Amino acid sequence: MHERGIRSEHAYLAAFASIGRTVAAWAVSLTAKPGTGLARADRWGIFVGERAPTSFGPGIALSHYEQQDGTLTASPHELRQHQQAS
């Protein structure tokens, strides 16, 4: 994934966006059908919220790779030079 330009920051951003989508899905489900109750909104929020750990996992793995590779604090220009040298 790292060789294709995906960095740990991208995976972390996807995970935090998933958390935001979870809150939004819960709120929309709570107000979408009056009378369905809190239980339905909770189930829908949990269903959507399961995606966040799926994005945190690759983020952690990419972060470890970047620390070993030395590209964790590299700028995009330095990353291009590193990729061209490899």
Could you tell me the two tokens for 20?
Answer: 């935001």
d(CA 54, CA 74): 25
Query: What does each of the 86 residues of the chain score in pLDDT, given as a tens digit?
Result: 777 778 888 888 988 988 888 888 888 877 776 666 777 777 777 777 777 888 888 888 888 888 877 655 666 666 677 667 76
Residues near 57 by beta carbon (within 8 Å), at least 6 away in sequence: none
**Domain limits at 59?**
2-85
Domain count, the chain: 1
Q: Interhelix angle for 51-69 vs 37-49, to 10°?
A: 20
Q: Is the pTM higher than 0.85?
A: no
Confidence (pLDDT) at 46: 79
